[in-house]
Structure 1
Amino acid sequence: MKKRIIASALAMSFAVPCAFAQDASAVRISGFGTGALTWTNTDKAEFGRPNQASGAKKDVTTGVDSNFGVQADYAVNSWLSVTGQGLVRKDAQDDFGAELAWAFAKAKVSDDVSIRVGRMGVPAFMISDYRNVGYANTMLRPPAEMYAQMLFNTVDGADITWQHSYGDTTYTAQFAVGKSDVDIAGGPKLEGRRLTAVNLVAEHGPLTVRFGRVDGHLNLTGSPSLTTLLTSLNTFGTGYHIPQANQLATDIDVRDKKASFTSLGATLDWNNVLVQSEYAKRKTDSYVNDTTSWYVMGGYRFGKILPYYSHAKLTIDDSVHNGMPAACPAGYPAACTPTIAALSGFVAGLRYTGVSQGEQQTDSIGVRWDFYRSLALKVQFDHVRPSQKGGLLINSQPGFHGPVNVGAVALDFVF
């Protein structure tokens, strides 16, 4: 990775804490990273993580699963601290780039209550706070079928967390408010406004159960194809006096549209047995598909070696309804009906474009080997079965239908 990129990540992660730092001994530096090689058995489509602009084909690549992060924590006093985290990875831009993943101040109001202000992770998943820390996760990567359904990684705002133990059970309740932005691969930008997030967790011995809910309003900008379609629908509806076209344009447009993401998860880490599962529903009032996603992973430890298997699935519950009439009323110009057919085709195609991906399921087998302190070696093979239009795969060529086999070897570390 380029020196300037690493330097910028380090600078970002230190910027907030060092602004307060007067006693260097109060600053704690930590970090994480993954060096990985990923490949597939096809050149007709690319396999990548959610929102990556490009992915792996037959040739081995380092870009899909490799990253590097560094974090600085500074304790201002007994109740106030500041945290900054910089992250280098490949995302919507087709190159390694640095981002400010975390930058918040935390106030400990009481033994049970804390408040954070700044940039935090969106608490949408079981592993939201450490989804990019490979060493903290059993699998080489989180299942895309689940984690591609919520592209917002961070929220700029504030949250309050309450945590208390009753007997052998620890309960955590978190509530966050704010906004979020994410650049989508291909150029568009997705904005989340008036975001609220609820995260409820119960931990009892080896069992952890979690419920989460994120609500907000979406705005999608910078999509020429969507803008062209909306203009065409409105022009067609007005010119031919077909109100269904105008209404369809309003329904499709992603402008201040309500959206929600509801998830339920559980982890059991008992003796040598490890089981993890999540289930989620995404709903929007726009052309972005309503979806159901889930996965289940099971593994068994043999000393420092942990083989595992997972199955993940993504299905579309509801997509944009084509409200166009099948034909123009009698007496309309001959060009009207072919135009309806063409616009109907564009509308149907929205089901598989932008943030509305196709359906997919994946079976994965892998093994984790904790061969040394703070180091873990992982090998994982995935059998990806997209149902239509390439599923979650990237840059699929005409005629591609899958399935795709994916292999990866990764070295995870923390310091």
Structure 2
Amino acid sequence: MSEQQAQTTPFDLPEDHPFGPHNLPYGVFTPAESDAPRVGVRLGDYVLDAGAVAAALGSAHAAVLARPSLNPLLAAGRATWTEVRAALISWVTEEAHRAIVTPHFHALADVSLHLPFEVADYVDFYASENHARNVGQIFRPDAEDSLTPNWKHLPIGYHGRSGTVVVSGTEVVRPSGQRKAPTDPTPVFGPSVRLDIEAEVGFVVGVPTQLGETVALADFREHVFGLTLLNDWSARDIQAWEYVPLGPFLGKSFATSVSAWITPLEALEEARIAPPARTHALLPYLDDTTEELKGEPGGYDLRITVAINGHTVSEPPFSTMYWTAAQQLTHMTVNGASLRTGDLYGSGTVSGETEAERGSLLELTWNGKQPLELPDGKRAFLEDGDEVTMTAWAPGPNGTRVELGEVRGRITGAR
């Protein structure tokens, strides 16, 4: 929809609107006249109170929708997800429901948006070969292979901190910690001076598992409800000093931002694609080329845009990710680790083959050696006051686009 086509009612949006009935992402919102959060779905520039409509129409799913969190819906399982989505599409498209549905719409500009689900565990992966090779070249320039020996055999990840996952729009306080430059005789303590972003996609788990149970590749969509844009904020100087030998800790755990909207996997059927060709044989539990999985492409064609203070700095393509979300879920549970409703796992930084497709400032500036030229000055890493915004879209039905909810955060000074 062009900027000139302002939406005046929930129903007068063009058929190709990226937040049309073919999308309907889920969130949690509070109307201006209330202090009670409730589940909503977005239609254009409006939010529908899903629980109120379900109750008014006598839906069997009113109970899971009349909650202050998406978790009950997430836990209900795929059959319920499909039924609820079909009902929502009917409610917002069929004239017969219009009189009942209309009073339960709220203008997006008039509501407060919240973290849409209670995060159980948070895991972050490292699934982009382009990103991994860039990082390897930056930190191991003399290595024969910029990838670590295990990279093509398993999805590498780390366990993050679920309590610091925040909704889009939450300010990010510059973290403090230990850092030690190669020329420093001893470490120093203070605010990070190499604060970075990581453009990622997060996957939201609905159906849990029992301890000791594993999830096969074919069962990915039985457990994962949807996806969201994710910014894995990273303090590179703190991370560089602490990560040997156990990996990221304080350099990552201070904040992870996600969108206020969760796009259900069912809205992204036209965006499903095959992942890049595998260059190494995979162990059976990760092998997605089997006869059983034919017709179940594991990749997603998502086009991401990263902007700093309104200026586009990168456009990473998610289609290039080597490891799929299904492989990540399977690997995450292959040791018997249980899933919980509300588990969130990040794809890892999304980076394409070209310089304009790199998903972190570490890569975009080549570890600060090649600062970006922005309208308001050069940037090697983020400065206080900088606002980072990530948006994305995917191909939808009949030539439409499915837009993902943005994820946005502004840096404030260390406390």
Using structure 1 for the length normalisation, give the TM-score: 0.21
Greater RCO structure (CA 8 Å; 6+ sep) = 2
* Structure possessing the higher radius of gyration over alpha carbons: 1
In terms of fraction of residues, the more strand-rich structure is 1
Using structure 2 for the length normalisation, give the TM-score: 0.21
